[in-house]
Amino acid sequence: MLSDIGHIKAGTPQGIILSPLLYTMYTSDFLKTNKILNCFFADDTAILAQGGTINYVTHTLQKGLNNIENWCTLWRVAINTDKTHAVMFRKGTSRKELKTLSFFL
């Protein structure tokens, strides 16, 4: 089964051998900060933060997301919010005690 033909306005076609290299070059100026760790794999990105309180981590991540949104707007990169998730790991706390985190893009 073939998918419908579409026109690419930006980016590279899926599956071409140069895509990973071009993605690495394209994101080489991705925002760096000492409070957030950026992790890249293929065309996926994860940002990580740690801190003493949930409020500190939430605030740090939200600032990071705001900066990422500005970077994406500048470079015409779309964020797929359907595939965007927040995961919290916390030592010594049961699942029942964890709060829901909300972030805005």
**Whole-number pLDDT of residue 102:** 66
CB neighbours (10 Å) of residue 50? 11
Quote the number of domains for the chain: 1
Domain assignment of residue 5, yes or no: no
Which residues form the domain of 28?
Answer: 18-83
pTM, 2 dp: 0.70
Supply the DSSP string of 9-29, one letter for each residue. SSS--TT-TTHHHHHHHHTTT
Domain assignment of residue 90, yes or no: no
Domain assignment of residue 6, yes or no: no
| Residues 51-67: tens digit of each pLDDT | 888 889 889 989 888 88
Of 32, 27, 31, nearest to 43 (Cα)?
Answer: 27
- Reported confidence tier of residue 83, pLDDT bands at 50, 70, 90: confident
Domain assignment of residue 79, yes or no: yes
| Residues 27-46: tens digit of each pLDDT | 887 777 888 888 887 778 88
